[in-house]
């Protein structure tokens, strides 16, 4: 059988396995979604959000793109974040990068990649912001890993710049923003060792929108 058609067989088997443990599984899931987390991650096929988090259907709202970027003016991610905080009431936004990220690697080695050029520019901007630290790392592999981490941290900052997030902070103190990285070789998720609150505070005078709710 064609590999493509096999997917429908896989789907039927999955439905049967779900119904075998809970015959109301789909009816219950169809009533509403109340995920607790928004996961912003890389499109890389080896980093499936639900699977690595050990979460079931309905538990995580997901946005994925190349190199887990939160780019100002990207109406796609702006809509996802607005919906997550305003309508789903999500209190935890996770930005998750991964070591071995092809997007980050491509940004480290500038070449003309057509449409991808402007997308990868956002990662080169991260390099520019942290150039002193990155250039001081002699081992190219360690420098690459560190850019993966710094990219996650800067995308967390980009989440904090968004008006919908700042409005919700004023109202409720949420969402919390979390910086994670996934290790392809070990299968492990890690929280990055960074004090995001302190970082946000240090740049607050630049990005705080002083939103007033009428």
Measured from the CB of residue 134, what is the shortest distance to Co ion in angstroms? 18
Choice between 42 and 196, CB closer to Co ion:
42
**Catalytic residue (one of 101, 156, 164, 178):** 101
Q: Is 13 left (phi over 0), alpha (psi -120 to 50) or beta?
A: alpha
Measured from the CB of residue 105, what is the shortest distance to Co ion in angstroms? 9
Measured from the CB of residue 106, what is the shortest distance to Co ion in angstroms? 10
Among 38, 40, 90, 101, binds Co ion (CB under 5 A): 101
Closest CA to 39 of 122, 124, 197, 156: 156
Choice between 42 and 93, CB closer to Co ion:
42
- The tokens for 93 are 């936004």
- The tokens for 85 are 């905080």
Does the protein bind Co ion through residue 149 (CB under 5 A)? no
Does the protein bind Co ion through residue 122 (CB under 5 A)? no
Cβ–Cβ under 8 Å, residues 35 and 58: yes
Q: What share of the chain is helix, strand, coil (3-state, %, to 5)?
A: 55, 15, 30
Is 101 among the residues known to form the active site? yes
**Catalytic residue (one of 63, 96, 98, 178):** 98
Half-sphere exposure (CA, 13 Å, Cβ side) for 207?
18
Q: Is 173 left (phi over 0), alpha (psi -120 to 50) or beta?
A: left
Measured from the CB of residue 120, what is the shortest distance to Co ion in angstroms? 12
Does the protein bind Co ion through residue 44 (CB under 5 A)? yes
For the annotated catalytic residues, the residue numbers are 42, 44, 46, 98, 101
Contact residues: Co ion, CB under 5 A: 42, 44, 101, 103
């Amino acid at each position: 059988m064609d590999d493509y058609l096999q997917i429908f067989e896989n789907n039927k088997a999955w439905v049967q396995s779900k119904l075998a443990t809970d015959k109301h599984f789909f009816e219950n899931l169809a009533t509403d979604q109340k995920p607790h987390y928004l996961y912003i991650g890389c499109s890389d096929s080896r980093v499936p959000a639900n699977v690595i988090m050990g979460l079931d259907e309905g538990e995580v709202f997901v946005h994925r793109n190349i190199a887990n970027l939160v780019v100002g003016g990207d109406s796609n991610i702006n809509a996802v974040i607005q919906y997550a905080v305003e309508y789903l009431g999500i209190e935890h936004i996770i930005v998750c990068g991964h070591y071995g990220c092809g997007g980050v690697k491509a940004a480290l080695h500038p070449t003309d990649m057509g449409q991808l050029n402007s997308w990868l520019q956002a990662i080169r901007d991260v390099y520019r912001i942290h150039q002193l630290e990155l250039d001081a790392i002699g081992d190219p592999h360690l420098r690459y890993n560190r850019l993966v981490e710094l990219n996650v941290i800067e995308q967390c900052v980009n989440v904090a710049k968004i008006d919908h997030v700042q409005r919700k902070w004023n109202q409720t103190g949420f969402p919390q923003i979390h910086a994670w990285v996934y290790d392809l070789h070990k299968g492990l998720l890690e929280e990055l060792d960074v004090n995001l609150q302190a970082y946000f505070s240090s740049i607050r005078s630049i990005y705080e929108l002083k939103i007033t709710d009428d």
